[in-house]
Structure 1
Amino acid sequence: MPAHASLRRAFPPREYVRGRSLGSALLGFAATLLLCGVLLSLYLIADLLISRGTVSAENDHLADLLVLTGQATPDEDGVVAIPDGYRMAPGDRGIAHAVWMNRDGVLGPPLAWLYRNVQTLQSNLPALATLIGAAVVLGLMRSLCLSWARLAAARAVGAAVTRLRKALHRQALRLGPSDLTEEAAKEVLGLFTVDGETLRQGLQDGVLRLGRYPAKIIVLTAFSLLVSPLMTFYIAFPLLVCWWLLRRQAVSVKLARRLATHRSDKALRLLAEGLTKARVVRGYGMEEFESDRFNTHLGRYQSDLAAANRKARLSRGLARAALVLAGAVVLGILGTKVLNTGGAFTPAHALLLLGIAFSLLRPLNELADLHRDRHAAAVAADRIYRYLNRVPEVGQAVGAKFLQPLSRTLEFDDVHYTDPRGRKLLDGVSLSLPAGQVTAIAAPESLEAKALVSLPPRFLEPQRGRVKYDGEDIAWVTLESLRAETVYVGGGDPCFTGTVRENLTGGDPEVPLSKVIDAAKTAHVHNFVQRFPQGYETVLGEFGETLTPGQLFRLGLARAVLRDPAVLIVDEPSEGLDEDSKAQLDDTFARVFPGRTVLLLPGRMTTLRRADRVVLLHRGAVEAVGPREELVQKVPLYRHWEYVRFNHFRHGTAPQPAGPSNGRPSPGSPALAGSTA
C-alpha cells in the first residue's frame, strides 16, 4: 500500500468536510473575515492620518458629499439645499475622506453607512480611538477563532489517531506472545509513540491548512478586487514571480546545505582517518606520506566548503535582487496610480493592497509545503498499517472446547517451528513428559528452548505437528481455559503501573485479599510489600515504587501461584539476583513445584538440580533426555552447555585461584562447571 494511501485510510478525505474538521474550517473562515475587518480598520486609520479628516470636494460636488454623509437630504425634485453659511471645515471630519474617495466603489456604501450611524467616526480623535479599538477587538476575536479552529482540528485528528492506537494495542496483545526476541515489542512501542505522534501532527496540519488557507486566499483576493480590480491585476504578476523565486531560492539553499554537509562529513572522515592510525604511521615512518595525504584532503574539504558557501550566497543574492526588483515594480505601479488619479487612489489604498498581499504570503507557502510536510505522516501511517495487517500466529478454532487440567502426560508430537526470520528453531521435536514432574529445557541456542516452552500456552503455533494435553490437541481448546491451566513466568516480565494487589490479581476485584496475601507469602513477596507505605495498595511502575529484578520475578511467581495452574513454565533470570533473592527463590520453588507439571528454563545451577529430567535440544531436535547426572556423564554437548551457562567467567568475575597446597582445580578446569549457585 502506498504511503499516501495509508494516510487517506487513517483519515479519509470525507473526514475533512464533516464533524469537527468542518467546524475547524468554518472557524478558519470566520478568522479570515475578521482579518479583513482588521485590514479595513487599519486602512481607515491610515487614511485618517494621511488626510487629517480633510475632505477636498469641489463646490459642484458638495451636495453629493452632504447626501453621502447624511448631512442633507434631496427634495422631491432631487435638489439638495445646502444650509446657509455652511462651509467645509478644513479638517476634523473623521473618516469622511475615506467615504468620499470610495464613493464610486464597492466599499463606498458600507463606509457611508458606518459614517452616518457611528457618531464617533465623524470627528478625528474619536474616529481614531474607535478604529484602533475595533482593530484590537477584531484581532482578539480572530486569535480566539484560530485557537478554537486548532482545538477542533486536534480533536478531529485525535479521535482518528486514538482509534489507531487502540488497534495497535489490540494487535500487540495478539502478536506479542509470539515475539521470542522482543524486537516486535520495541517496534510497536515506536509505532505507538513516535509514529503515532508524527501521524497526529501531520493530520492536524492537513486539517488546519486545507480548512483555512484555500478559503483565505479566495476571500483576500476578492477583498483586493473590491478595493481596486485593476491594481490587483497589475501587482499580482510581479508579486507571484517574486514569491516563486523566493520558494526556489529556499529549496536551492536547503539542497546546497544538505550537499555541503554530506561532502564535509565525508571529507572530515578522511581527515580524521590518520588520528586512529598513529601507530602504523610512526611504526613504518610514514609521517611525510600521512602529512601530504592530510593536506590534500584538507584542501579539498576547504574548497568544497567554499564552493557550497558561494553557491548559497549566489542563490540568496539572486533571490534578494528579485525581491528588490519586484518591490520596486510594485511600488512604482502603486505610486504612479496614486499620483495620476487625482486622489481617487490614495496612499491608504496602496497600503491596504500591500497588507492584503503580505497576508497572502503564508497561505501560499503553507499550501505549497503541504505535500512535503505530510510525507512524514504518510510514512508513519504506512508503518502502522503494515503492523496492523500482520496475521497473528495463534487464533482460537471455531467450536473450541474447554480444557481439563493436565493429569497424565504433556506431549510434543513431531513439532516444527520456523521464526519469521527464517530460523528453524524446532525441527521434528517429539517428547512425552509425565504430569506432576519438573522438566528442564537446555539448548545451546536459547531461542530453541524458549520456542519449545512457548508452545503449551499457545504463544506460538507449530507449523507442523501437535501439542497434546492428556492426548487432546490443544489447538482445539479455548485459549481462556488453556491459559488458565498453563502459566508462563518470565525472568524479564515487568510490573504494570498499578497497585501491588492489581499486579497480583490482574485487576480482578473479586479476588479476596486473604488469597492474595497467601500467594504473596508463598513467593516471598509479602515481606517487601509490608515495608511499602501503603502495603498492597502501593503503586508500582513508572510513577510508583520500583522493584529489583529478584522482587519482580517473585511478584510474577506470586501472580502464578494465585491462579494455581496445572502447568507452570518458569523462565528464571540468569542475572541481577542478589543472594537474598536466590535463597528466597529456592524456598519458593520448593513450595510451588511439588504436585505441578513444571517446564523450567533454569538460570542457576541450584534450580537446574531441582529438575527430574533435562531435555537437551540441538539444532531444533531432541539430542538427549534424562536426569542431569546421567547427561553430565554421557553427553559431551550437555556438559559443554552447562559449563558455558553456569561457570563463573560468564559473569565476568572469576573465583580466586587456589594455591598449590589446597588441591583445588584451576579456574579454567571443567570441574568448575555447576559451581555457581
Structure 2
Amino acid sequence: MLQFLRPYRLQVVGASIALVFTAGITLSLGQGIRLLVDEGFSSGTPAMLNQALLIFMGLVMLLALGTFTRFYLVSWIGERVSADLRKAVFDHVVTLHPGFFETNVSGEIQSRITTDTTLLQTVIGSSVSIALRNALMFVGGIIWLIITNPKLTSMVLLSVPLIVIPILVFGRRVRALSRSSQDSIASVGSFVGEAIKNIKVLQAFNYQQRDKALFARHVEHAFAIAVRRINQRAWLSTIVILLVLGAIAAMLWVGGHDVLAGRISSGELAAFVFYALMVAASVGAISEVYGDLQRAAGATERLLELLSARSLIVPPAVPRELPTTVTGELWLKDVCFAYPSRPDYWAINALNLRVPAGSSMALVDSSGAGKSTLVDLLLRFYDVQSGSISLDGVDVRELNPETLRDQIALVPQQPVLFTGTVADNIRYGNPDASEDQLIAAAKAAYAHEFIERLPEGYDSFVGEGGVRLSGGQRQRVAIARAILKDPKLLLLDEATSALDAESEFQVQQALQRLMKDRTTIVIAHRLATVVKVDKIAVLDHGRLAALGTHGELIKESPLYARWASLQFDHDQVDPAAVSDTEPLLNKQESE
C-alpha cells in the first residue's frame, strides 16, 4: 500500500509528528501526576498546588492540540488513499479483456471496489493511527517504568511475552477468517445485485420464496464466519485483559508495601501506576485493533489480486497505424479460434472471408455456431489461435485495440443503455458531439420523434439499463449512438430479432441509413433481415459452408434453402432446392 501513500508524504510526515507529539505529551502526564501528589498535595501550600495544576493543564492543552492535528491528518489520508485505491482498481478493471469477467463475478468485483476499500479507509484513517500511537505509548511507558522503579518494572516485563504470544496466535486466525468473511459478504452482494437486476423474471416465475431461502443461506453462512472471527477476537481481548490486569495487581501489592516501608514516595507509586495502566491500555488497544489490521490485510489481498490481474489483450510494443484514409476493407484468412474454457472445440474453423470496403455481408448459421464469436474477434476481445484478421491490410493484432475500436460501431441484439439521460447514452458514440450532431444522429435513427415526446426530451432519465424505454426505443437509441460515432466498420448483432413488427420496421429503416457507404457485418437468424445485403456467408459449425446472394444460395446451398423454407412461404422457395436438403437434414438429425 506504500505506493498509494507516497504521493502524500507531507501529510504522512505531519501526522507522524503529531502522533509522536501526542504520545510524548501523554507520557509526560505521569510526571505531572507525580508533581501534583508529591509537591502539590504533600507540600501543604496553595502556591505549589496551583503551580502543579497549571503545569498539568498546560500538558492537557498541548495534548488536545496535538490530538486534533493527528486526527485530522490521519483521517484525511485514509479518505484520500481509499479514493485513490478505488480509482486505481476501477481504472484497471475496465481495461481487462472480456474473458476475465467470464470467470469473475461482477458482484464480487463491485464488493472489492466498495466494501473492501471502505474497510481500508477505516483502518488507515483510524486503526493504524491507534496501533502506532499505542505502540509508542507502550515503549515510552516501559521506559518511564524503568526510570521510576526498576524493581516493579521487572514484574511488568515478565508478563509481556505472555501477552504478545496470544496476540500473534489469535491474529493469524483472525486474518484468515477475515478474508473468508469478506468473500462471503461479496457473495451476498452479488446475489442481491443479480436478483434486483432480474426482478421481473424472478417474479414472473414466482421464485421469490426460493430466492429468499437461498439468500438466507448466503447470509447465515456469512454470519457463521463472522461469529468465528468475533469469537477469536473476544478470546484475544479476554486473555490480554486477564494477563495485564493480573500483572498490575501484583505490582500494586509490591509497590504498596514499598510505600508503607518508606522505600518510595506516594507520587512515585502514583506515576508508576499511571504508566503501568498506560502500558496495559496500550496492549489492550493494540489487541483490539490487531483484528482490524488483519481484516484490512485480507481486504488488501483481494484488491491487489484485482490490480495484479493482467489483460490477455494488450497493445503491441510498437503498434502500427491504419492508413490515413480508412476504407473499412476486411479480410479473414484461415481464422481458427477456440474459447479458453473449451480449448478442444473450434468455434471458428479455417474461415476465409473478404468484405470489400463499403459493402455488406450477413453471417447466418444455426445458434451457437460462431456468428457472435466473430464479432468478438473483430473487436479484438479475443485473439485468434491461428490465421489473421485484417482491416485495410493491417492485422488487428498489430494495432492498438483503441485504434481498432475507434473504427467500429456495434449495435447488439440487446442494446445496452447506461444510467443517465437519453443524450448521455447517444453521446457514448462521441462524447464531444455538439447538440446539432446529437439531434441529427437521433433523426437518422428514427429516434428524434419519440425522444421529443419524453417528459424532458433528450434530458429524460432512462433508468437502469434503459428500463424506462421500450425495446424498440432502446434499439433506436443504440443505433443513434452508432451513427454519431460514424464508424468505417459496422457490426449488427441480431439488431432486430427481439422487436415487434412496428418497431422492427422503424429500426430497419434506421439501419439502412446507418449501413450506407459503410462496411457492414450483419448477424441474423431471421433471413428476412438479410435478403438485401451484398453477400451472405453461411456458417456451419464455424466453417464457411456457402457464400452468395440470397437468390444464389436458395439455388446452390441446401442448408440455406432448408432454413429459408422454414422461415418463408413455401411458394417463395424453389421446391427442388428444398428437397435437396432432406438427406442433409436427416443426417444432421441422426447425429
| TM norm structure 2 | 0.68
CA 1:52/1:216 → structure 2, altered by over 3 Å: closer, same or farther?
A: closer
Question: Are residue 602 (structure 1) and residue 532 (structure 2) matched?
Answer: no
Deviation at 1:195, TM superposition (A): 5.4
Partner residue of 2:337 out of 381, 403, 417:
417
CA 1:628/1:27 → structure 2, altered by over 3 Å: closer, same or farther?
A: farther
Question: Are residue 490 (structure 1) and residue 412 (structure 2) matched?
Answer: yes
**Aligned twin of 1:222:** 143
For residues 390 and 342 of structure 1, what CA distance do their matches in structure 2 show? 73
Which deviations, in whole Å up to 9, do the C-alpha atoms of 1:372-425 show, x marking residues without a partner? 4453144224412431x3342554854534254447x63311112233335332
Deviation at 1:312, TM superposition (A): 13
What CA RMSD, in Å, does the superposition of the two structures yield over aligned residues?
A: 5.0
For residues 638 and 144 of structure 1, what CA distance do their matches in structure 2 show? 81
**Aligned twin of 1:268:** none
Amino acid at match of 1:339: L
Which deviations, in whole Å up to 9, do the C-alpha atoms of 1:83-129 show, x marking residues without a partner? xxxxxxxx453655xxxxxxxxxxxxxxxxxxxxxxx337xxxx4xx
Taking the TM superposition and a 5 Å limit, the aligned residue runs for 1:18-167 are 18-40=9-31, 47=37, 53-55=41-43, 91=44, 93=46, 120-121=50-51, 127=53, 137-138=61-62, 140-154=64-78, 157-158=81-82, 161=85, 164-165=88-89, 167=91
Q: Which has the higher helix share?
A: 2
Consecutive unaligned residues in structure 1, runs of 5 or more = 1-6, 56-90, 97-119, 262-310, 648-669, 671-677
CA 1:235/1:475 → structure 2, altered by over 3 Å: closer, same or farther?
A: closer
Amino acid at match of 2:20: F
For residues 432 and 242 of structure 2, what CA distance do their matches in structure 1 show? 78
**Aligned twin of 2:195:** none
Is the 1:615–1:626 Cα contact (8 Å) retained in structure 2? yes
What secondary structure, in the 3-state scheme, does the structure 2 residue paired with 1:454 have? Answer: helix
What secondary structure, in the 3-state scheme, does the structure 1 residue paired with 2:491 have? Answer: strand
Percent identity of the aligned residues?
20
Deviation at 1:358, TM superposition (A): 3.0
Amino acid at match of 1:564: D
Amino acid at match of 2:477: L
Partner residue of 1:552 out of 471, 474, 490:
474
Partner residue of 2:265 out of 310, 330, 344:
344
Which deviations, in whole Å up to 9, do the C-alpha atoms of 1:448-505 show, x marking residues without a partner? 2222123444444433223345666555677677545432222445345565444434
CA 1:376/1:16 → structure 2, altered by over 3 Å: closer, same or farther?
A: farther
Taking the TM superposition and a 5 Å limit, the aligned residue runs for 1:459-470 are 459-469=381-391
Partner residue of 2:281 out of 350, 359, 365:
359
**Aligned twin of 2:443:** 521
Taking the TM superposition and a 5 Å limit, the aligned residue runs for 1:329-340 are 329-340=250-261
Taking the TM superposition and a 5 Å limit, the aligned residue runs for 1:258-273 are none
For residues 460 and 253 of structure 1, what CA distance do their matches in structure 2 show? 41
How many residues matched? 513
For residues 29 and 565 of structure 2, what CA distance do their matches in structure 1 show? 82
Consecutive unaligned residues in structure 2, runs of 5 or more = 182-231, 569-584, 586-591
Is the 2:145–2:272 Cα contact (8 Å) retained in structure 1? no
Amino acid at match of 1:30: F
Amino acid at match of 2:41: G
For residues 313 and 180 of structure 1, what CA distance do their matches in structure 2 show? 39
Is the 1:54–1:93 Cα contact (8 Å) retained in structure 2? no
For residues 314 and 553 of structure 1, what CA distance do their matches in structure 2 show? 60
Is the 1:437–1:597 Cα contact (8 Å) retained in structure 2? yes
What secondary structure, in the 3-state scheme, does the structure 2 residue paired with 1:439 have? Answer: strand
Which deviations, in whole Å up to 9, do the C-alpha atoms of 1:30-71 show, x marking residues without a partner? 2212323455556666x39xx99343xxxxxxxxxxxxxxxx
Is the 1:403–1:477 Cα contact (8 Å) retained in structure 2? no
What secondary structure, in the 3-state scheme, does the structure 1 residue paired with 2:352 have? Answer: strand
What secondary structure, in the 3-state scheme, does the structure 2 residue paired with 1:430 have? Answer: strand
Deviation at 1:429, TM superposition (A): 0.6
Amino acid at match of 1:421: S
